[in-house]
Amino acid sequence: MKYRGIDAVATKIFTHSGLIYPYSLHGWKLREFCGHEGLRNFLLGIGPWIDRYFASSKRCSQLDQVQDVEVFEKKDYLCAAAGLALSACSDLKERHALVQKHLLFNDVSTIATEVPLWAYDKKIGAISGHADILQIRDGKVFVVDYKPGAALEPKKKVASQLFWYAPLLFGEPNNGTHFWQCQK
């Protein structure tokens, strides 16, 4: 689909750790709303070459290290939008993808989904993960991890996964990035 000559949404399929991740990028929203040149270049440059970084890395969801992170629940318009998408879904296995597609096409701030992230930490080694949703709001980057069962998971595990997305995306924690989860 093109809008004003730009691919509205481009998708690249990656298979990491035996799971399929459809990385999708809304090119028009990226161009119009993302003022972070480095982030734009990173998102546009993601390709098959990244597979080598996921072959032997530790997943963010497997790490159990978090320091001084406040864990809280926040429900707002994004949760309402996810709820709207979920009300149209009868297959539990399709919930994740449906919420992502709904937000990518209907929410002006959502610019990408299933964003592959990786980095090397001196103490831990190679680390990787896929950010469910990437948004730009008021010039800030928001990493959203959709966790329908987060209330049942240990809060430290959920917080640890989100905590690592900032260094994977920007190279250091809390670099203008805000984290929160939406649970249903």
Determine which of 31-40, 55-64, 71-80 has the lowest per-residue pLDDT on average: 71-80
Please tell me the distance from the alpha carbon of residue 146 to that of residue 142, in angstroms, as a whole number: 12
pTM, full prediction:
0.82
Question: Averaged over 57-78, what is the pLDDT?
Answer: 72
> Which pairing describes strands 9-16 and 58-59: parallel, antiparallel, or unpaired?
unpaired
Residue 24 above 80 pLDDT? yes
Cα separations in angstroms, 150 against 54, 72, 140, 145: 24, 11, 24, 10
| Higher local confidence (pLDDT), 80 or 3 | 80
* Statement: residue 34 has pLDDT above 50: yes
Average pLDDT across the chain, whole number: 78
Contacts of 165 (CB under 8 A, 6+ apart): 60, 117, 129, 131, 143, 145, 177, 179
97-129: per-residue pLDDT in tens? 888 888 899 899 999 999 998 887 788 888 888
Residue of 84 and 65 predicted with greater confidence = 84
Mean pLDDT of 63-87: 72
Which is more confidently placed, 63 or 110? Answer: 110
Q: What is the pLDDT of residues 142-151, one digit of tens each?
A: 888 877 666 6
| Whole-number pLDDT of residue 183 | 33
Bigger pLDDT: 13 vs 170: 13
User: What is the average pLDDT across 10-34?
Assistant: 89
Instruction: Tell me the mean pLDDT in the region 17-46.
Output: 88
Q: What percent of the chain has pLDDT over 70?
A: 78
